[in-house]
Homo-oligomer: A and B are copies of this chain.
Amino acid sequence: MREIAKIAQVSVATVSRVSRGTGQVSPEMRERVLRVIEEYGYRPSQMGRALAEQKHGSVAMVFPGLAGPYFSELIQGFESEAMAVGASVHILATHHRAGAGEQVLTMAERVDGMAVHGGTLSDDALRRVAERVPVVTLAGRSMDGVPAVRADNTTIGELTRHLLLDHGYRRLAFVGNPDGSPDVTERWEAFKAAHRAAKVSAPREPLRLGLQQSDGVIAAGELLEGRRRPRAVVCANDETALGLLIGALGRGLSVPADVAITGFDDVPMASLVQPRLTTVRQPIRELGATTARLLISGLGGPGAVMDAVLATEPVLRESCGCTTTRRSESKGERT
C-alpha cells in the first residue's frame, strides 16, 4: 500500500479511502490512485485489514460429517449468504474424532462466527466455543445464549398418522438413531406421539443406524429378511429411505405393496425414483441461508432471534401406498 501511495504521490490514508470507497476523496485524486492500483494490480492484504478492523472476514460451519445431499445443500445456502457480504467459509467435519473439541476451538480463533450442526458437539463443548465466538446451532436445540435455526420435525408425525389411519398400516418401524442428533430425536418422538394419538400400540424400538444411504441398505438387511417384516418403515431421512428402497427392490420386494417406505428432506432423488418417495419437505437451503444471516448480522442484543423454526410439509407420493394421478407435482398428489 505504501508503494501505491508513493507512486501516486498521496498518503496511505488516501489509498485506503479509495480502495475501500469510504470517506471523502476528490474525483481527480480517486482517479489517480485508481489508475496506479489498477496498473500495479494491487490488492489490499487481508491480514493487515483483519488486524486493523478486528475481524477475520470469514465464518465457519462445523458438521459431524459431510456425506449426502443434505449437507451440500446446507452449505450452498450458507455460502451464498456469506459470499454476499464477502465472507469466506471454513468447513470442519469432525467425524466424531477424538481431538474434535480442540480443533473447533482452534477454528474459533480464525473466524467471526460459527454455525455448529446438531449432534456434533456436547453441550459443554459448545458452551466453551460460544464464549469465544458468536455461535448459532444448526438443526439443534437453542441453549443459553446460543440461538438455533431448525426445521419443524413434528411433521413426521403427520406422515405417521397418515400411514396408521389413512392407509391402516400397523407394525411400523423407525430407522434412525434418536441419540445421534436432535433432529432424529424429535422425529422419533413425533413418530411415537403419532402412535399414541392414533391410539394404537407403541412402536418397537428404533433401528439405530446412521443417516447415510448405506445405512438404509443395512436396514433393509435387518428389516426385510425375516418373516415378520414391518408393513411400513419410517426413515429418519431420505438417504436411508432411498437405501432401504434399493435394498427392497434388490430383494425382489414390491414397494409399497410389500412394504411402504417414507423419508424426510425431499432431496431431488426422492421424486425421481420408482416408486417416488413419500417424505417431509424441509427447506434445507433456507436453513443454511438463515443460519448465515443470523450469524453475520443480528446475534446478541435484546430482541435478537433465539430460535428460528422453519416450516416443513408432508409430500405424499407412491412409496407410502398413495396412488397418484401424477398431474402436477405440487398439489393433488394426496390419496
Binding site for B on A (CB under 8 A): 43-48, 50-51, 54, 56-58, 60, 65-69, 71-72, 75-76, 79, 83, 86, 88-93, 95, 103, 106-107, 109-110, 132, 212-214, 217-218, 242-243, 245-247, 249-251, 268-269, 272-275
Q: Which B residues are in CB contact (< 8 Å) with A272?
A: 214, 217-218, 243
Question: What are 29 A-B pairs with beta-carbon distances under 8 A?
Answer: A44-B109, A46-B56, A46-B110, A48-B51, A50-B50, A50-B51, A58-B110, A65-B72, A66-B72, A68-B72, A75-B91, A76-B93, A76-B95, A79-B92, A83-B103, A88-B90, A88-B106, A88-B110, A89-B91, A212-B268, A214-B269, A214-B272, A217-B272, A217-B273, A243-B269, A246-B249, A247-B274, A250-B275, A251-B274
Complex CA gap A51/B245 in Å reads 54
Q: How many copies does the complex hold?
A: 2
Q: Which B residues are in CB contact (< 8 Å) with A109?
A: 43-46
Q: Which B residues are in CB contact (< 8 Å) with A76?
A: 66, 93, 95
Complex CA gap A242/B246 in Å reads 9
Is the beta-carbon distance between A93 and B110 smaller than 8 angstroms?
no
Q: Which B residues are in CB contact (< 8 Å) with A43?
A: 109, 132
Q: Which B residues are in CB contact (< 8 Å) with A90?
A: 58, 88-91
With A89-B92, A90-B90 in contact, do A47 and B58 touch (Cβ < 8 Å)?
A: no
Q: Which B residues are in CB contact (< 8 Å) with A68?
A: 69, 72
Complex CA gap A272/B242 in Å reads 13
With A88-B92, A246-B246, A272-B214 in contact, do A71 and B79 touch (Cβ < 8 Å)?
A: no
Q: Which B residues are in CB contact (< 8 Å) with A245?
A: 246
Is the beta-carbon distance between A72 and B79 smaller than 8 angstroms?
no
Complex CA gap A106/B86 in Å reads 8
Complex CA gap A209/B157 in Å reads 37
Complex CA gap A280/B48 in Å reads 48
Is the beta-carbon distance between B75 and A93 smaller than 8 angstroms?
yes
Is the beta-carbon distance between B106 and A93 smaller than 8 angstroms?
no
Complex CA gap A71/B212 in Å reads 15
With A272-B217, A273-B246 in contact, do A47 and B51 touch (Cβ < 8 Å)?
A: yes
Complex CA gap A289/B137 in Å reads 29
Complex CA gap A88/B272 in Å reads 37
Complex CA gap A269/B244 in Å reads 12
Q: Which of B69, B83, B89, B95 contacts A67 (CB 8 A)?
A: B69
Q: Which of B54, B86, B93, B251 contacts A79 (CB 8 A)?
A: B93
Complex CA gap A91/B54 in Å reads 23
- Extra A-B contacts (4), CB below 8 Å, given A75-B91, A250-B274: A71-B72, A79-B92, A89-B91, A218-B272
Q: Which B residues are in CB contact (< 8 Å) with A88?
A: 60, 90, 92, 106-107, 110
